[in-house]
Chains A and B, each alone.
Chain A
């Protein structure tokens, strides 16, 4: 996969990161280097290897359907830059 300046611009926007125009080319180069390094893994023959989801051999733990949490509005809102009557308050986002 080749990463150019436009790709950087696009993924920066999707990730809500502000990447200045003058740095985009440089970052594209860095990403290309990282990807080509990772692509070296493609040289390993994995034709007969099952995909591995976990190295611990654990399976997904299941929880009982019990209410054990909640009712901590103050904790939830403790770091909110703005709040009112128990709500988070953010700049208007409306479609």
Chain B
């Protein structure tokens, strides 16, 4: 599939790199003991360190270091046993230190790779350039007062991982697939909750265009995109804008842009003359971070099975389709629900029931797997009852609807409503005889060669049994009786 975009004067290739800020899942902040909980009252989760009071010193949170290493390992990246914290200097009202503690020259994680899969089934390896640890800033509220900004430092000092990709992405679709896959891996690892609405995962997107085969064009950076849709919209807008500018004889300025969520457009940031000059230097308050190979190995041993591996296993061992395996592994919770429900059972049948009936019912009810009225065991038990012939697949749908409604186990519903499949040949023969007696004319027609009527008899017998007769036995017995 070609990713080229055609302009007025020919084709253009789009080049995209992403910097993703992922909030590290931890109890306390990166360099202080205050809480990272979302939704606290203004400035409640703030210590004197976070507010940058004079004389306060940062002490690093070991769990945040582990999380960064774990993330690196999950992205098959090099872990740097030696890394350094630097000060990135700039002034903003929600940055009380006047600098952000970040990692510049020596990040904790080096090069890795993330494989994305597109709708057309093609897979692409996207290079990860680095991951570094840094502090988040506070939050400014601009809509509380006509001439003032309100500052809440609750986020100030929360640990972030900045995950920087290589400029390997070639379309908005690829960028969307990248952020979704990254989010999924982070959630499997448990290193970031991936909650984009709460700002736990946000992306800066670098976009440029060039003639196929040319050198890289000048890029713009659109900041702080907090949904997959916005990321894709911002890219589409930038691509179109840049091509228009260049084709009209203009040039692209390397600049930072903002995305307007209401119009879907990007615009230049006002403070352009303040072209950022961060004057990075090693933070004298912090010694270099030195890890041992044993520390890294210990984390490696704790790594959960990641979605790509699980998917491969589901396809090769369980015989699932690649599509079903993708759906079932997108979220860790879904994969473990499935594993639990299908263990020791017909794997494919459970997959079908999950992806069609269960997901359909959850969607309709506006629920998620986490609050599903049907537990993995309950779904598995239902599938067992289909597999052993207690109920037919058709009756099972009614039983499932009832389970979803009431939370009762399948066996109870079947017992209570008398839905058990009838596999007793004498009972089925009785039904068949009744159908034949009521339709003597059709029996005669069938016997005189109208084979097509067979389906009619099957239908009538099933109907008479309330759908409970074993369809295979009905077929077999009908054939004998109608001879």
Known contacts A67-B34, A69-B49, A88-B150: A60-B288 contact under CB 8 Å: yes
A69 near B151 with CB under 8 A, answer: no
The range of chain B's interface size is 35 or more
A86 interface neighbour in B42, B148, B271, Cβ under 8 Å = B42
- Check A64 for interface membership: any CB of B closer than 8 A: yes
Interface of B is mostly: loop
B286-A86 in contact (CB<8A)? no
Chain A interface main SS type:
loop
Q: Does A23 contact B (CB under 8 A)?
A: no
Q: Number of A-B pairs whose CB atoms are under 8 Å?
A: 136
A84 interface neighbour in B26, B33, B65, B150, Cβ under 8 Å:
B150
Asked if B482 is at the interface (CB within 8 A of a chain A CB), the reply is: no
The answer on a CB contact under 8 Å between B28 and A68 is yes
A93 touching B33 by the CB < 8 A rule? no
Residue in B closest to A59 when the chains form the complex, CB atoms? B290
> Given contacts A70-B34, A90-B148, A92-B148, is CB(A65)–CB(B61) below 8 Å?
yes
Contacts of B34 in A (CB 8 A): 67, 69-70
A76→B27 contact, CB < 8 A: no
* The stretch of B137-145, B411-419, B448-456 that contacts the partner chain: B137-145
Chain A residue numbers with a CB within 8 Å of B92 are 93
Measured in the bound complex, the distance between the Cα atoms of B452 and A27 in whole Å is 104
Cβ contacts under 8 Å, A59 to chain B: 287, 290
Asked if A41 is at the interface (CB within 8 A of a chain B CB), the reply is: no
Task: With A14-B279, A63-B33 given, name 8 new contacts (CB 8 A).
Answer: A14-B277, A60-B286, A69-B32, A70-B46, A73-B43, A88-B150, A89-B148, A92-B145
B contact residues vs A (CB 8 Å cutoff): 26-28, 32-35, 41-49, 51, 59-65, 84, 89, 91-93, 140-142, 144-153, 258, 269-271, 277, 279, 282, 286-290
The 7 closest A-B pairs by CB, nearest first: A65-B63, A68-B33, A70-B34, A86-B42, A69-B47, A87-B150, A69-B33
| Chain A contacts to B: CB under 8 angstroms | 10, 14, 16, 53-54, 58-73, 75-77, 82, 84-95
